[in-house]
Amino acid sequence: MMNPAELQQPLLHLVQQTAMQEGLNGTPVPGLFCYKVSKPGTVMPAVYEPCICIIVQGRKTVMLGPELLSYGPLQFLVASVDLPVIGTVTQASADAPYYVIQLTIDTRLLSELLLQLPQLARASKKAGPALFIGEAGPAMTQSLLRLFNLVRQPEDIPVLGGALVRELHYRMLQSEHGHAIAQISLHGTPTQRIAAAIQKLRKEYHQPIRIEELASQAGMSVSSFHAHFKAVTHMSPLQFQKSVRLMEARTLMLSQRLDATRTAYQVGYESPSQFSREYSRMFGQPPARDIALLRP
């Protein structure tokens, strides 16, 4: 089997043909995307849904609460639950852009695969971090090559696409983080219950937070819920909600051209001045100045 370094150039060639535009590029395969960034220092705040991201060229740092992770070519990052993350591209240029492949994780597909992988289908009693980095070995890299060769032959996707996406999920489970990835699809694990609470928080981010209600729905005491939530996200539920609110606010101001005051109320703040202070701490600029810099 070829080593990953020998596979990087053919994979890069295929991704370059797919990611022609700066930023997000879709593909004909559902849930499969590419990003291209040509300028180092580009900040990419986003609320990740469960996904795997594999860098093909360049480097990036990812911040989740106080946790800072860095990864580079032929390394992958997995977000196993919805997470508010600030990513910064640290290595990119016009001649050698940053390229990353992103695939949405299908938890039902993981559950099907775990029926054939009983050694991984062991529920953990403790929740663990939901964001981690690993090495894309030869098997995963070859799986990506096959998937991107298919992108160039869209007529084959209805027949072969599902099998190749399934293979990539299998490679995730066979990676060094396979047991942790499995926890999100095993019913009743602390990670799966925290993931359900996170989805509720994400959906109702503009509403006042009710820790007792979230803990009750997760089947945990308040203290246990706090401990498991922080183990998964590196944040308290309140910090998590604030991060989601601020990222949603930034998206609203960019996409709908809302001013800071209207946006503050829309995402759940009672005080526009508090919103401005917390926005500045997170993004380094007051809302109006930050958005002005981002707009073309």
Is residue 296 pLDDT above 70, yes or no? no
Predicted confidence at residue 223, as pLDDT, reads: 95
Calculate the alpha carbon distances from 126 to 79, 192, 221, 279 in Å: 18, 11, 14, 33
Give percent of the chain with pLDDT exceeding 90. Answer: 74
**Tens digit of each residue's pLDDT (9 = 90 or more) over 55-100:** 999 999 999 988 999 999 999 999 999 999 999 999 999 999 999 9
Predicted confidence at residue 4, as pLDDT, reads: 61
Average pLDDT over residues 270-291: 92
All residues at 6 or more sequence positions from 99 whose CB lies less than 8 Å from its CB, including other chains: 12, 15, 16, 19, 34, 35, 36, 55, 56, 57, 58
Of the candidates 105, 147, 102, 104, the one whose C-alpha atom is nearest the C-alpha of residue 10 is 147
3-state secondary structure the chain: CCCHHHHHHHHHHHHHHHCCCCEEEECCCCCEEEEEECCCCCEEEEEECCEEEEEEECEEEEEECCEEEEECCCEEEEECCCEEEEEEEEECCCCCCEEEEEEECCHHHHHHHHCCCCCCCCCCCCCCCCEEEEECCHHHHHHHHHHHHHHCCHHHHHHHHHHHHHHHHHHHHCCCCHHHHHHHHCCCCHHHHHHHHHHHHHHCCCCCCCHHHHHHHHCCCHHHHHHHHHHHHCCCHHHHHHHHHHHHHHHHHHHHCCCHHHHHHHCCCCCHHHHHHHHHHHHCCCHHHHHHHHCC
Q: Is residue 123 very low, low, confident or very high in pLDDT (cuts 50, 70, 90)?
A: confident
**Tens digit of each residue's pLDDT (9 = 90 or more) over 200-212:** 999 999 999 889 9
Of the candidates 222, 227, 269, the one whose C-alpha atom is nearest the C-alpha of residue 244 is 269
Least confident of 19-23, 43-47, 61-65: 43-47
Average pLDDT over residues 133-139: 92
Within the chain, which residue ranges are assigned CATH 1.10.10.60?
Answer: 190-237, 239-294
Crossing angle of the two packed helices 107-114 and 157-173, in degrees rounded to 10: 70
- pTM above threshold 0.85: yes
Predicted confidence at residue 258, as pLDDT, reads: 87
Average pLDDT over residues 218-232: 94
> What CATH homologous superfamily does 4-185 map to?
Regulatory protein AraC (2.60.120.280)
Q: Residue type for 177, please? A: H
Average pLDDT over residues 51-57: 96
> What CATH homologous superfamily does 239-294 map to?
Homeodomain-like (1.10.10.60)
Give percent of the chain with pLDDT exceeding 70. Answer: 98
Instruction: Output the average pLDDT for the chain.
Output: 92
Is residue 168 pLDDT above 80, yes or no? yes
Q: Is residue 121 very low, low, confident or very high in pLDDT (cuts 50, 70, 90)?
A: confident
Predicted confidence at residue 87, as pLDDT, reads: 93
Report the topology of domain 190-237.
Answer: Arc Repressor Mutant, subunit A (1.10.10)
Within the chain, which residue ranges are assigned CATH 2.60.120.280?
Answer: 4-185
Predicted confidence at residue 295, as pLDDT, reads: 74
